[in-house]
Chains A and B, each alone.
Chain A
Amino acid sequence: DQQVKQNSPSLSVQEGRISILNCDYTNSMFDYFLWYKKYPAEGPTFLISISSIKDKNEDGRFTVFLNKSAKHLSLHIVPSQPGDSAVYFCAASARIRSSNTGKLIFGQGTTLQVKP
């Protein structure tokens, strides 16, 4: 049961243009969503997150949009740079009782290539 899905395994964009990475989820208990970026031979690094009480969060070139009714989130990178080329993972978590920690459920990842 894939609770978090990234249906596009790869995406290629030209430098300077917008990159849009998409993610869908099925579990309505998820209340916190994150994007991670991964380079080869390294662990994933945190990029940006959003709480379910918001529909948009922006950090520099990166913006995450959340559409709760559609159970869909997206990551926009603008302008895209060659150094953004990496695998991007969407992740989600659900609050467990009163705890503020919990496992993250990851999507399969989308490989972004930004061409100079």
Chain B
Amino acid sequence: GAGVSQSPSNKVTEKGKDVELRCDPISGHTALYWYRQSLGQGLEFLIYFQGNSAPDKSGLPSDRFSAERTGGSVSTLTIQRTQQEDSAVYLCASSLGRVGYTFGSGTRLTVV
């Protein structure tokens, strides 16, 4: 597609359940990033994939969070045993370089 696509756009889950968020980057973009924006906060870096290199996981807040990128394209962010503080908008972006960083519309996650 022409842009970065994220699904679902909204997700409501019960505390303790696992969730998977999906990101389809722009075709040909080698870098993929996950960020989250909690209510009233800025964009918090979570994880970054670049080609075949080992991902930069330095922003993941706990070991309940993990992400993978299959075939250098689609990425899935998984949150296990969700907690209420995980409620946020999760944003995915892709780029070819430091210019052209394009965001998706995000997945709004609500943990009840």
Contacts and interface: CB of A to CB of B under 8 A. Distances in A.
Contact of B98 (A36, A42, A101): A101
B31 interface: yes
Interface in A70-116: 89, 91, 93, 99-109
B91 A46 contact: no
Contact of B43 (A45, A46, A89): A89
Size range of the chain B interface in the assembly: 20 to 34
Interface in A29-58: 32, 34, 36, 41-46, 49
Contacts, number: 57
Interface residues of A, number: 25
B101 A104 contact: yes
B43 A49 contact: no
B101 A46 contact: yes
A97 B9 CA distance: 35
Interface of A: 6, 32, 34, 36, 41-46, 49, 89, 91, 93, 99-109
